[in-house]
Structures are given as C-alpha cells and as structure tokens.
Amino acid sequence: MQLVEHVKHRMAEQGYDYPVWIALFCNFALFVGMGASLAQRWPGTAGTWAGLAIMLATEIYFLAVGWIPRWSFGLVYIVGTGLLLTQPETPDFAPFTLILAVAISAATSNLIESLIIWAGAMALVAVPTFQGNLDNGFMYLLGIEFGWSAGFMLLFQQRQLQQERKQQQARAIEVATDERRRIAREVHDVVAHSLSVTMLHVTGARRALEVDRDVDDAVESLREAERLGRQAMSDIRKTVGLLDKSEGVAPPEPGIEDVPTLMKDFERAGFPVRFELDGSTEGVSPATGLGLYRIAQESMTNVAKHAPGAVVDARVQVSEAGVALLVRNTLPNGSHVAPDRDGGTGLAGMRRRTQALGGEFEAGPADEGWVVRAIFPSNADEQALCRLRRWMQ
C-alpha cells in the first residue's frame, strides 16, 4: 500500500492523474519484458547485461525514489534496447519492451519530447531491419507507431479531462457567487421592507402618544412593529439558511399571491395605498411571482424612504400576455427622488430581476409623482402584449 500511495503522490506532483494501477501495470509489464529478453539471451554478453542494468535501475529508481523525466525514461529504453539488440534473437522480445516504453513516454511527455523518443525508437529498429539483422522488424516498427499513438491519445484525453475539471470548478464558483448575490439581494429586500414598515408603526406610536395621547393606538402600532420585526427575523433566518450546504427542503419563498399582504402591511402602517389585483395568479410561475413580489416590495420601501406621506396606487394585471406590475406614488412637499447609489439593490436591482426573467422594466418621474412599471411577458402574441403595455400607461 505504501508503494501505491507513493506512486500516486508522485504522479499527482507531475500533473498526471491516471489511475495508479495503470502505472504499476505498465512497470510490471516492463519487468516481464526485461525478464523475457534476458531469458532469451542467457547467459548473455556484456552489452546485454549493460542494457538490462540501466533499464532495471531506471525502474527501481522510479518505484523506490520518485518520478523521473519522461524523455529520459524513453532515452534509457532506447539505449537499453539497442544494447540488447547487439545479441539478436528470433523471435526477439526486446523490441516489445521498447514499444511499451514509447507508449509510456507519449502518455507522460509533451508532444515534441515524445516525437523525439518515437523517432529514436523507429531509427533503432529500422536500421537492423533494413540491414537484415532483425527478423519481423516491420512488425516492430508498426508496434512502435501504434504504441506512440495510444500513448498520445491517453495524454490528449488527460489534458481534456483536466480542462473540463477546471471549467467545472469555474462554473461552480460562478454559481456560488451568483447564489450569494441573490441571497444578499433577498436579505436586503427583507430587511429594508421590514424596517421601513416597522419605522412607520413606531412613528405612528410616537405621534399617538405625543399628539393624541392615545395609548391604545400606540400599543396597537407597537404590536404591529413587533410582529413585523419577528417576521423579518424569521425571513432572514430562512434566507441565510440557504447558505447551509446540508440537504433539506428549501423554505417557501414569497410569490404573487403574497403581494396583497405586502400592501396591507403598509396600509396598516398608515400609508395610503390603493391596490388592485386583476386576473388569476394560478398560472404565474414561482420565479416570476418572486420577482414581481420583490419589485413591489422594493418599490414600496423606496416610497416610504423617499416620499413619506405619499399616496400609492399599485396594480397587478395577470393575462394571457403575461404579468404586469404598476406602482405609482405622489411626491408630497419635501419629498425627493434619490439617485440609485445603493450598489445595485435599488432601481438597478429591480431592473436586473426583471431582465433576468426576460421582462421589461421602467422607472421614473411621471405626472408630478414617481412610477415603476414591470412586465413579465409570456409566450402570447405581440398584440396581447401591446394591450398589457397600454394598461400600464
């Protein structure tokens, strides 16, 4: 087991993640080839033993000490096989060892180095073949060609696999970043909405005590502020809980059917809100419903922040052409329109939400007030979509 872990570790250091059993099997096959070549030549000559010695030393060094450059590995086997071929046999096992060494070099070296090893091996076998000193030489040449091709294909697949893994990691990072941004927007929307409505209730309670001396109204406003605060804490826990990587059932997110409740919260806080929902919400997708709810929530929060005391007219239209949201408010004396400087969580955030769902977004001053329009079209024809746009004017 220590040998397996050692080889695996050294391969990883060199940037190769082939299965470790492939490396061990190839080296075992080389030992078998060297043994067969020695058996053919027993007791052998000085050149035979020299060739076997340098190849055997290379294998022992690889297994016992560490990884060696692949070009030197191929060069060692070219020299070693050349020494073995000084004592040719019929049939000869020495070229088979060379074929495997060329394949290993091609699978673990760059293209130029492997081509140099391939050319050296081909020359080593071709010379005695054309001189008539090596039987079946053309078969060995074909084997070297196939060995190099197989090794190069393995290397190509390895590089493609590594590239694919890098791309998957980059995509995973991108998805995680987008998810964190989405959660940040959700937390912003929840906190901004809850704090705005809560402050309206607190302000109402203060005025009830200071001006009207009405304890009951103040207590009722404080109860609403407490309820909204607890609800906000629960929503924040659910949203932040999405960061938990453990498996579980995702908490339900608000949708179009929650927009009336949202408007009721502002109305209970003393905001003059006229709300109208026209059409059935059953066919609205959860993604569209969530986007529409967050845009309505952010619009009402902006009204509470920048135009306190404004009258709000909010409408939602659901038809075969899609879903439309219109939020129009007056600009009382002293109120102002603030530029979008909040890093993309205001108008820019609403615009991104709408565009991400393939919709249209518009916001700006109109008729001495401010208007926000968002359309989430369906697959209806252009005529139906034009009717929906006219409804929003």
Confidence of residue 45 (pLDDT cuts 50, 70, 90): confident
Q: What is the pLDDT of residues 24-42, one digit of tens each?
A: 777 778 888 888 888 888 8
Residue 134: per-residue pLDDT: 81
Residue 337: per-residue pLDDT: 57
Confidence of residue 271 (pLDDT cuts 50, 70, 90): confident
Question: Considering only 42-46, 110-114, 246-250, which range has the smallest mean pLDDT?
Answer: 246-250
Q: Coil, helix or strand for 182?
A: helix
Confidence of residue 326 (pLDDT cuts 50, 70, 90): very high
User: How far from 186 is each of 64, 241, 323, 331, CA to CA, in Å?
Assistant: 57, 12, 21, 27
User: How far from 209 is each of 86, 203, 215, 255, 306, CA to CA, in Å?
Assistant: 111, 10, 6, 37, 25
Query: 177 is written with which tokens?
Result: 């970043």
Give the pLDDT mean for 198-205.
72
Question: Which span out of 56-60, 78-82, 199-203 was modeled with the highest average pLDDT?
Answer: 78-82
Residue 335: per-residue pLDDT: 61
For 33, residues 6+ apart whose C-beta sits below 8 A from its C-beta are 93, 94, 96, 97, 100
How far apart are the C-alpha atoms of 289 and 256, rounded to whole Å? 4
Structural domains in the chain, CATH included, are: 2-171 (no CATH), 255-393 (3.30.565.10)
Cβ proximity of 370 and 307 under 8 Å: yes
Q: Is the pLDDT of residue 268 over 60?
A: yes
Give the pLDDT mean for 141-160.
88
Rounded to the nearest 10 degrees, the angle between the axes of helix 94-108 and helix 111-131 is: 160
Confidence of residue 343 (pLDDT cuts 50, 70, 90): very low
Residue 190: per-residue pLDDT: 65
pTM of the full structure:
0.47
Give the strands of the sheet with 322-330, arranged side by side: 273-278, 312-319, 322-330, 369-377, 360-365
Q: Is the pLDDT of residue 64 over 80?
A: no
